[in-house]
Every structure is written in C-alpha cells, then in structure tokens.
Amino acid sequence: MTFYIPKGMDERVAKPTDREIAKYGRREFLYALGALGASAVAAGCGGGDGNGNGCYTPTCPTQTYTVAGSIRGTYDNKMVAPVTVRFGDKSQDSNSGNYSLIVNGGVYNPTVNGGVVQRVRNNVNIEGNTRLDLDALDKGVNVNHYREIGMGIGSPGALMNQNGRSYRLPDGVQPRVIVVRDAGVNADRYAAIDQARSVFGEITNGILNSVNIEYVDSATSNLPDGAIVVDFRSGTIFLAAPTKRNGFYLVNSIVHASDSNSLDFNVYRNTMKHEFCHAIGFDHATNDQSIMNSGTVLANNRMPSQDDIDAGVLKYKRLGGHELDETQDKD
Ligand SMILES: [Zn+2]
C-alpha cells in the first residue's frame, strides 16, 4: 500500500502535479513558471532582458508578479462571489469570483473571505506570474480538523488520502455491516454494534446510511462493495483496517471487535462508532472533543462533534473537489 508522501521543503516551489496539469493545461503552468519566454515574464529585474542578462539573485531589487485565478465552490466548482482575496498587504474585492493581484515575489498565506465562505492556503511561493485557483469552504468548517481526520494530514495516524484525495467509500455505495457471529459473545454486544451503525449517518449528516445489519456464521470471501465485516477477537482490543482499495476508494474493510462481555455497554458502542469511522476513511484527531480522538471517545455519548460532522460532510460531499488544496498547504 502506498501513502501520499508530502513533498519535501526543497520542492516548495509551486511545481504542478500531474493532476494540476490535467486540470489547468501544461501551457498555463509553463506560463506560470516563466518558461514561455520574456513576454510571459513580469517586467522588471527578475525577467531579465530576454537575452539571459537578467538579475536572478536574492540581492535583486524586489520583483513583482501577477497572481490571478478564480474562487470556486468546493462542491460544485462554480464561481463564488463576492469575495475578498488577500495576499499579504495586497487584497482585492471581487464581484465576479475572478481575481488578479500584483504582488512582490515571496511566500504567502493567501486568504479568501466571503459572507459564508473561507479559504486559507499556506506557503504559496510566488516567484513568477502565477495562476492560482482556490476553492471556497463553508465558513464554519474547521479546516485543520478536516485535514486531520478527513485526510490524515498532521494527524497521529497514517495519511488517509491517495494522491491528495481523501479515502472514502465508492460514490453512491453505502456501508454494509456484516457481523460474524461468535457463540461466546452476549446479545448486548450485538446490540451495541447495531446501535453504533448510527454513526455513518451522524458524521456525514445523512449522506451515508446503514439500513440493515447482516449476520453470518463465518467470514465470506466474496464481499459486496461497502462491506464492513465485524468479527470478534479476544481481549479488549478494537481495530479497523481496509481489506480492499481501489485508488482512493475503500471498497471493503474489517473491524475487529472485542469479545469482552464485561466492557461497559456505552464504551463498547462508542468504540465501535470510532472503528466504523475508520472503516469509512477517517483518521485520528488531536482534538479531544472528536470521535476520532482515540483517548477520549469512550465515555462521550455526544460524539461525533460538530467539527467531525463538518469534516464528514466535506469528505463525502466533496467528490471530485479540490482536495489538493489541503495537501498543498503542507508542502
Ligand atoms: Zn482509532
């Protein structure tokens, strides 16, 4: 299994990924990187005279570049306006969703602010005329929390994304919980697992929904898409792991549940909720109010938190969205 590996510091330059090239076209990036000749490079010291006589050293006088793009909704890719786009002390109010600013070369944390939308990108290196489209998120979304539990960026766990797209169930596929019976497990353990299925709808605000629970006497090998097989293991160890992936899709998973009949019912159910969230693509959180915090989840019956729900909706509603924005922030 290959996880997305964040690019190193030496690649901080806004170098296009294959996906970006597919999205914007190679010519646009060549333009952005100043590779199409003097006419494509901002006037001034950094552009040189077109004959290789330019000034390119850090001691040059400050260079200015044009950075331009559009602000688009993360769910529908439609232009969002009005918005204010800011790069350092330069900002523009846009009524169209397009922006164009002339800024000094350097590293920026550009922001987008509208009535109900936000976007912050970190460490964007402007060293030439640059095209930078930004997707707008709902203002209330805790973006850092989404990056942790939705994509595994900065979380105390593995990265839950594949080439910048967060792991999730295949489009339109619902989770199917299939429990492998164990004669030594009491009925209330099954009841706790049954109740824990509510988390699919809770954390995605109804986008996912587990209608039925299925029981089998032994694990089957021919699993349907979305299958989450639950089996029992001795002791109090719970674990979730994907068993089949297709790109960034989690096709099916297994959850090992404790066979303990003495573990508190609510603790047992809440732990299963946490494991079910792993099974649909969520990683651990540092926020101790989160269902994905492995330390505080057990006794908290209010889980998932509002930040968890916002992250769940973003993960499952943002199909085909601009998730590279999140990984690029960590370049
Ligand atoms: Zn966990």
Residue 43: CB atoms within 10 Å: 9
CA of 278 relative to ligand 1 center, distance in Å: 7
CA of 136 relative to ligand 1 center, distance in Å: 30
Name the pTM for this structure: 0.77
Tell me the pLDDT tens digit for each residue of 35-82. Answer: 333 333 333 334 444 343 445 555 556 799 999 999 998 888 889 999
CA of 211 relative to ligand 1 center, distance in Å: 24
CA of 14 relative to ligand 1 center, distance in Å: 34
Instruction: Name the least confident of 17-21, 109-113, 176-180, 245-249.
Output: 17-21
So what's the pLDDT on residue 319? 72
CA of 32 relative to ligand 1 center, distance in Å: 42
CA of 109 relative to ligand 1 center, distance in Å: 32
Give which of 237, 316, 306 is closest to 281, Cα–Cα. 316
Tell me the pLDDT tens digit for each residue of 17-32. Answer: 555 444 443 333 333 3
CA of 320 relative to ligand 1 center, distance in Å: 26
So what's the pLDDT on residue 288? 86
CA of 274 relative to ligand 1 center, distance in Å: 6
CA of 292 relative to ligand 1 center, distance in Å: 6
So what's the pLDDT on residue 25? 38
Q: With 80 as the cut, is the pLDDT of residue 328 above it? A: no
So what's the pLDDT on residue 11? 29
Once rounded to an integer, what is the mean pLDDT over residues 279-304? Answer: 83
So what's the pLDDT on residue 96? 95
Q: How confident is the model at residue 329 (pLDDT cuts 50, 70, 90)?
A: low
CA of 282 relative to ligand 1 center, distance in Å: 9
How far is residue 2 from each of residues 159, 160, 246, measured CA to CA in Å?
A: 10, 11, 12
So what's the pLDDT on residue 217? 95
d(CA 49, CA 43): 9
Once rounded to an integer, what is the mean pLDDT over residues 220-233? Answer: 94
Tell me the pLDDT tens digit for each residue of 128-170. Answer: 999 999 989 989 899 999 999 999 888 777 778 887 889 999 9
Q: What is the DSSP letter of 123?
A: -
CATH of 145-317, one of 2.60.40.10, 3.40.390.10, 3.40.710.10, 3.30.470.10: 3.40.390.10
Return the percentage of the chain with pLDDT > 90, whole number: 57
- Sequence-distant (6+) residues with CB within 8 A of 306 are none
d(CA 211, CA 221): 22
Q: Specify whether the CB–CB gap between 194 and 273 falls below 8 A.
A: no
d(CA 321, CA 72): 10
Q: Specify whether the CB–CB gap between 135 and 23 falls below 8 A.
A: no
Give domain limits for the chain: 9-139, 145-317
* Domain 9-139: homologous superfamily in CATH: Carboxypeptidase-like, regulatory domain (2.60.40.1120)
So what's the pLDDT on residue 155? 78
